[in-house]
Structure 1
Amino acid sequence: MCGIAGQVSLRSDRAIDVAALQAMTRALAHRGPDGDGEYVSPGGVAGLGHRRLSIIDLVTGGQPIYNEDRSVAVVLNGEIYNFETLRARLERAGHRFATRSDTEAIAHLYEEDGLDCVRHLRGMFAFILWDERRGRLLAARDRVGKKPLYYAEHGGRLSLASEITALYRLRDLPRTLDPEAIDLYLTHSYIPSPLTILAGVRKLPPAHTLIVEGGAVRLERYWTPPTATVATTETEAAERLTRALEEAVRLRLIADVPLGCFLSGGVDSSIVVALMSRLSDKPVRTFSIGFDREPYSELPYARRVAELFKTEHEEFVVKPDAAGVLPDLAEHFGEPFGDSSALPVWYLSQLARSRVTVALNGDGGDELFAGYPWYATAARLAGIARR
């Protein structure tokens, strides 16, 4: 992951606070240990900051990245999976690329398609783009919100960042708690988008753009999940699902750095490992975490999957110290988050990072395929309500 930050003036008599932009960018250093970059518009109306974790184009992919005449600047957190296809189309249209980075495709695509550029992006992303000619800032978040982006209006400016903790560096940011957000946290164990723990800070919702022009801020939705159903057989559905999963894994294997997979031994991560093994010409690197209490350890299941697919498997056994890790977790989340899975993921990420730069996992499978018990409970309650 990378860290991005941005600031734009909402008043003609006020420039951005460059020191504040730099402070926000520094606060994101843990997201991007491989480099940093900064852009400030000629008139001081807008600025972008970036902390880089190098994954694609290790040599020339530093950000911000620009179009040919540097009138468009962009910073990206995430990855654009279809950037090679986009690049080929844009080059045929006359655009000249200076890097091999997926980020550069956004700058040229914006030149070509304007605000609609985001509709053509396939990937996990949050980006901030400044158009000097139009005096326009465009920020966007991917369709399902894999990559975060927070924003706040303060003192005649609007600031954006990958983490709410970066916005805490703003000296004039109001610190008023949001009672509705607290209520939602106590109900769901997290604070749903667009709210945050602070009344003056918001999350950009998934599948939305944020546009600033002439001092006005507006949000627009650019994608809605399809609701149409298709008549099919169980066999056909299974074949379509397999093709979709295989393509999804293939796209995520595009990287110029070592990658692996978190393996719990459950259905979701095991499927990802199976597909990675099918698509890779060398053994997949897998990582599992176990605890010193046997009832809580999934290592035996992970070990069986690793043996089946002949992965380069590494296991870590830890004695969890929730009290010791809690300050770090609280600092990085920046607002209340009540999912206990944060603890093992924290340990596993720390340990795997010494081996690989990118790790796939099976997150999201239960949400997509109703794997949690409460989905069945909700269906039963909905049926009762209809009677």
Structure 2
Amino acid sequence: MCGICGKIYLDRQRPVEPHALERMARQLERRGPDDAGLRVSANAGIASTRLAIIDVPGGHMPLSNEDGTVWVVFNGEIYNFHRLRERLERAGHRFATSSDTEVIVHLYEEEGDDFVRSLNGMFALAVWDERRRRLLLARDQLGVKPLYYAELPDRFLFGSELKALLADGVERRIDLVALHDYLGLNYVPGPRSIVAGIRKLLPGHRLTLDLDRGVPAIDRFWDVPRPAPRVSARRPTGELERELLELLREVVRDQMISDVPLGAFLSGGVDSSLIVALMSEVSEQPVRTFSIGFKERSFDELDYARLVADRFGTEHHELVLEPRAHELVAAVADYFDEPFADSSALAVYAVAELAASHVKVALSGEGGDEVFGGYYTYQADRLAALYRRLPSLVGRRLLPALVELLPASDQKASFDFKLKRFVAGGALPPLPAHYTWKAFLDEDAKRRLYRPALGNPLVDCGDAPVRPTLELFRRVYDGYPGPDVLNRLLYVDLQVQLVDDMLTKVDRMSMAHSLEVRVPLLDPRLVEHMAELPSDLKVWGLSLKYLLKRAAARVLPREILTRRKAGFHVPIAKWLKGELADLVDEQLGPRTLVRQGVFDPKLVGELLTAHRSGRRDHSRNIWSLLMFGLWYDRYAQPLA
């Protein structure tokens, strides 16, 4: 894992300053503490910081071809680089190192821009073609690795994290569309970033900048295949189960390549447990596993993790998180350079810290819910088809009024929380319902929160009016046509929530500890395989991850397959009323809110009062406002 960045002046006579590149790269040191390098060629410069995993002594970057006409910086791992190297050597290419980075250099020489289609891995990369004075950026198929860019009047910038671009003096003006989306989702979905003018390159996309034209061109080189089911939607056969399990074995084996110590996150859920089981089949040493737990029983999963660790004889390490909420929140807020309010980031930060004290690489189970159908919302999608048949008076008025009377609970995924969320969207069409179950603040609530001086958020935000966040989901949904509604909803989650919530969380929290995390369940071969199957093989009735669990039953204990889905949560509702109450008062008090000038102090105060009285559970919205405020004080400037 590494950090990459670059700067290109559009004026060919203006040389890039090496110290400017160094300043950008310093923001990425935690991504790559082992090595650093830069390459400047007149008006173009690229730089990297390196976490050495493959070819530890020989993988210095930037790396070039034999005559110095093609230079590469690269963040990630290419799992099929051995096979690609053999192919390139047969074609006459000569290699000076054993690194996967050099494969990228020669593959570009051999195949041109289409070389990215041959890569199986997680990557964000930049290729500078000296002869053509041309830059190519590319991001992996599923967006495991981040890549930001900014097209400015005098220069083009790119980097692994937003803070690298800010280090070159980009104006820190908040993108109001991104802010609006953040308040609905608790993360900023691409292609926008929270800073106006800085964009995220979307997964499976590449960007080319030809200095003769001076305008970047972006195109898509990979997408999830359109559903073309090979089997009817019936109970899966043993052949389907065996086929999936063998593919999983192949993927896990490929992702265990490493020249440094390697382990796995283990929550005790199906995804992480299956990865550990398959790792143990091929590892010559006990797999090193890492788990965290909580004193609050409804949030603790250590018993399941221990069961798996014992079954497969792992070298198991675990940590029970003591109440150190202030320390965790400060650390997380320091590292996220965009507002981010998925509270499970605190847990990922802690388990990454634990793992980094023993290994440099860890495998994790991200992507299992989106690829195999594991979210509770997919059960809700099935149930909503029945709910919509209720008389309008019952479904839209009576039941919503009744469930609002249920008292709020601090327990994880409590019954009242799930029921209230379901009823809020149950009577809506499939996509709006699905969005409602994913969203935290509706459009009216978001608009009421903005400070009066800001006015209605449907104002100038640089280049587009603020639109309802649902429209972002709709564009993705409409771009994946077909009769299988649930498969289309899975696609939306794969393109939006997975990329900018789940993968962002794991990338930033692992990189905070210079730990590389790999995600086998997002291997494009697996994603393509599952995309071709009907959704009934993912969610059968109300049974989540149906085919995956059938396949996993061949290797996992029954207790893991039949346990309730938990997720990687922390007891935020309890912390906000207890240990974090003083931080909430300070950060969301009138003085701070007036100084920041974004949210209405009166309405935020009413939100806090309702939450603390127990009338409503606003913990998720309070957490969202708190994390925005902490981000603002670290990274932002006042709105113009």
- Report the TM-score when normalising by structure 2: 0.58
Q: Superposition pairs for residues 261-280 of structure 1, below 5 Å? A: 261-280=264-283
Q: Superposition pairs for residues 107-146 of structure 1, below 5 Å? A: 107-146=105-144
Q: How far 1:284 moved relative to its partner? A: 0.5
Greater Rg over alpha carbons, structure: 2
How many residues were matched structurally?
383
1:189 equivalenced with 2:177 (yes/no):
no
C-alpha distance in 2, partners of 1:300/1:245?
Answer: 25
- The one-letter amino acid of 2:161's match is E
C-alpha distance in 2, partners of 1:305/1:365?
Answer: 18
- The one-letter amino acid of 2:216's match is V
C-alpha distance in 1, partners of 2:141/2:149?
Answer: 18
| 2:20 corresponds to | 20
Q: How far 1:14 moved relative to its partner? A: 2.9
- The one-letter amino acid of 1:92's match is R
C-alpha distance in 2, partners of 1:186/1:243?
Answer: 42
Q: How far 1:349 moved relative to its partner? A: 0.7
Q: Deviations over 1:87-124 (max 9, x none)?
A: 11111111110000000000000011111110111100
Counterpart pick for 1:106 among 101, 104, 107: 104
1:69 equivalenced with 2:48 (yes/no):
no
Q: Deviations over 1:236-281 (max 9, x none)?
A: 2211211221111111100000000010111110000000001112
- The SS at the match of 2:61 is coil
- Contact 1:291–1:320 (CA<8 Å) still a contact in 2? no
Which region of structure 1 is more displaced relative to structure 2, 198-207 or 373-382?
A: 373-382
Which region of structure 1 is more displaced relative to structure 2, 271-280 or 373-382?
A: 373-382
C-alpha distance in 2, partners of 1:250/1:320?
Answer: 38
- The one-letter amino acid of 2:209's match is V
Counterpart pick for 1:341 among 339, 344, 353: 344
Q: How far 1:379 moved relative to its partner? A: 4.2
Counterpart pick for 1:309 among 309, 312, 317: 312
| 1:53 corresponds to | 51
Q: How far 1:318 moved relative to its partner? A: 2.0
- The SS at the match of 2:216 is strand
| 2:224 corresponds to | 225
Which region of structure 1 is more displaced relative to structure 2, 11-20 or 158-167?
A: 11-20
C-alpha distance in 2, partners of 1:174/1:378?
Answer: 42
- Contact 2:268–2:304 (CA<8 Å) still a contact in 1? yes
Quick one: structure 1 residues 218 and 91, their matched pair in 2 at CA, closer, same or farther if it must change by over 3 Å? same
- The one-letter amino acid of 1:177's match is I
- The SS at the match of 1:256 is coil
Counterpart pick for 1:206 among 203, 208, 215: 203
- The one-letter amino acid of 2:205's match is H
Q: Deviations over 1:27-52 (max 9, x none)?
A: 100111111111112xx121111111
- The one-letter amino acid of 2:155's match is R
1:244 equivalenced with 2:247 (yes/no):
yes
- Report the TM-score when normalising by structure 1: 0.95
Q: How far 1:381 moved relative to its partner? A: 4.2
| 2:518 corresponds to | none
- The one-letter amino acid of 2:217's match is R
- The one-letter amino acid of 1:98's match is A
Which region of structure 1 is more displaced relative to structure 2, 214-223 or 373-382?
A: 373-382
Which region of structure 1 is more displaced relative to structure 2, 140-149 or 289-298?
A: 289-298
| 1:33 corresponds to | 33
Gaps in structure 1 of 5+ consecutive residues: none
Q: Deviations over 1:188-238 (max 9, x none)?
A: 111111111011100000000010002121111001111222116432221
Q: How far 1:139 moved relative to its partner? A: 0.6
| 2:6 corresponds to | 6
Quick one: structure 1 residues 20 and 320, their matched pair in 2 at CA, closer, same or farther if it must change by over 3 Å? farther
C-alpha distance in 1, partners of 2:208/2:357?
Answer: 39
Q: How far 1:12 moved relative to its partner? A: 2.9
C-alpha distance in 2, partners of 1:382/1:256?
Answer: 51
- The SS at the match of 1:223 is coil
- The one-letter amino acid of 2:263's match is G
- The SS at the match of 1:239 is helix
Quick one: structure 1 residues 134 and 355, their matched pair in 2 at CA, closer, same or farther if it must change by over 3 Å? same
Name the structure, 1 or 2, with higher relative contact order (CA <8 Å, separation 6+): 2
Higher strand share: 1
- The Cα RMSD (Å) is 1.5
Which region of structure 1 is more displaced relative to structure 2, 202-211 or 244-253?
A: 244-253
C-alpha distance in 1, partners of 2:378/2:208?
Answer: 36
Gaps in structure 2 of 5+ consecutive residues: 389-428, 431-640
- Contact 2:261–2:359 (CA<8 Å) still a contact in 1? yes
C-alpha distance in 1, partners of 2:51/2:270?
Answer: 30
- The one-letter amino acid of 1:52's match is R
C-alpha distance in 1, partners of 2:358/2:246?
Answer: 30
C-alpha distance in 2, partners of 1:324/1:60?
Answer: 38
| 1:167 corresponds to | 165
- Contact 1:38–1:48 (CA<8 Å) still a contact in 2? yes
Q: Superposition pairs for residues 362-377 of structure 1, below 5 Å? A: 362-377=365-380
Quick one: structure 1 residues 20 and 339, their matched pair in 2 at CA, closer, same or farther if it must change by over 3 Å? same
